[in-house]
């Protein structure tokens, strides 16, 4: 039982640098302490996000937690211990979530690339019953980011949207949420040639091959452009008058709406019915899941920028 365990296996780094140089397997990491508002999770699966390797490379040292640290924001697993103030979960519950309240401010020292991790109850949701642990772990940071971005533009039924980077972790969810949850009149999205079919399958009415055409030159204009790739300046050329650009790529470009996600389990609970009905689906890269022992390879693959959907690590360990 978790209460008797004092050390756990995890992937950690003690200095900043590239994953292939600094990420090491450590069989003796102290188990995280559980605060009153937290639960301890026996990790089943984790997914990697670009923020994991950007953090590892020292992109926000000033507000980072002390090293050594185990990376990983997204988790799925089983609750093995609950803090005294926790009301929503009990031991044995299957949960998922993004374990860091603010992405760039003091992320957890022991992230999800570990046998156990602790997270605040408000960051977690009950795992959709129809999803595997690997599928559930692929969702939190990206689906919450997609939802939050759409909310910040005031997106609603009947509006049109262009998604830049439609086959990525966030883009795959923006397409699905816009179409199947919000009721968009038209969804356009960019990707490379090989990924156009995926865009259509997810609900895009107009897949655009960025290797063959420039989205900003299209005659059609949109109510919202959601930029996941860092082409915010060009995005304004694809807007209708009065339209809005939202971006998740720093530094943003005024007057675009730029944000970094605050993690929120309530968003996941709200979207669970769409996940359980199959209207919104997890999108895992064909190479996923990577076994725990291949966490460095998983990072290397994510760092190529060629992943489709999400890179997931499962089972752990």
CA distance 217 to 36: 54
Domain 142-258 listed as CATH 3.40.50.720: yes
| Identical topology for domains 7-127+284-313 and 142-258 | no
pLDDT in tens, 179-203: 999 999 999 999 999 999 999 999 9
Domain boundaries, the chain: 7-127+284-313, 142-258
> pLDDT at position 220, please?
96
Full-prediction pTM beyond 0.95?
Answer: yes
Structure confidence at residue 127 (pLDDT): 98
Give pLDDT, residue 317. 87
Copy the structure tokens of residue 281. 């689906």
**pLDDT of the residue at 3:** 63
pLDDT number for residue 142: 98
How does pLDDT run across 120-160, given as a tens digit for each residue?
A: 999 999 999 999 999 999 999 999 999 999 999 999 999 99
| DSSP track, 249-312 | STT--TTSEE--PBP-HHHHHHHHHHHHTTSS---B-TTPPBPGGGHHHHHHHHHTT---SBEE
Percent of the chain with pLDDT over 90: 98
Mean pLDDT of the chain: 97
- The pLDDT value given to residue 31: 97
* Cα dihedral 101, 104, 108, 109 in deg (nearest 10): -170
Using the predicted structure, report yes or no on whether residue 2 has a pLDDT greater than 80.
no
Closest C-alpha to 295, from 26, 64, 17:
26
7-127+284-313 has which CATH code? 3.90.180.10
Q: pLDDT confidence of 169, banded at 50, 70, 90?
A: very high
pLDDT above 70 coverage of the chain, percent: 99
| Confidence (pLDDT) at 79 | 98
**Residue 256: pLDDT above 90?**
yes
pLDDT at 4: 86
Residues pairing with 244 in the sheet: 224
| Predicted pLDDT at 1 | 57
- The pLDDT tens digits for 79-110 are 999 999 999 999 999 999 999 999 999 999 99
């Amino acid at each position: 039982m978790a209460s008797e365990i004092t050390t756990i296996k995890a992937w950690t780094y003690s200095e900043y640098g590239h994953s292939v140089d600094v990420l090491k397997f450590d069989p003796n990491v102290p188990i995280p302490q559980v605060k009153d508002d937290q639960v301890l999770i026996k990790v089943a699966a984790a997914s990697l996000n670009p923020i994991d390797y950007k953090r590892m490379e020292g992109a926000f040292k000033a507000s980072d937690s002390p090293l050594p640290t185990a990376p990983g924001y997204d988790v799925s697993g089983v609750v093995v211990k609950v803090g005294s103030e926790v009301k929503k979960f009990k031991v044995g519950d299957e949960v998922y979530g993004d374990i860091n309240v603010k992405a760039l401010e003091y992320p957890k020292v022991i992230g999800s690339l570990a046998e156990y991790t602790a997270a605040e109850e408000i960051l977690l949701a009950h795992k959709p019953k129809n999803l595997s642990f690997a599928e559930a772990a692929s969702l939190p940071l990206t689906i919450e980011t997609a939802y939050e971005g759409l909310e910040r533009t005031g997106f609603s039924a009947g509006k049109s949207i262009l998604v830049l980077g439609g086959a990525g972790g966030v883009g795959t969810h923006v397409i699905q949420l816009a179409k199947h949850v919000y009721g968009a009149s038209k969804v356009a999205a960019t990707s490379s040639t090989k990924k156009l079919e995926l865009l259509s399958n997810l609900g895009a009415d107009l897949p655009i091959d960025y290797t063959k055409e420039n989205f900003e030159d299209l005659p059609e204009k949109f109510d919202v452009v959601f930029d996941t790739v860092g082409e915010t300046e060009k995005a304004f050329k694809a807007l209708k008058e009065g339209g809005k650009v939202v971006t998740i790529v720093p530094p943003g470009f005024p007057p675009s709406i730029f944000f970094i996600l605050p993690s929120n389990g309530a968003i996941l609970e709200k979207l669970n019915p769409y996940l359980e009905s199959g209207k919104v689906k997890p999108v895992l890269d064909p190479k996923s899941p990577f076994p725990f022992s291949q966490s460095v390879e998983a990072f290397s693959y994510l760092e190529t920028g060629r992943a489709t959907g999400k890179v997931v690590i499962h089972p752990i360990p």
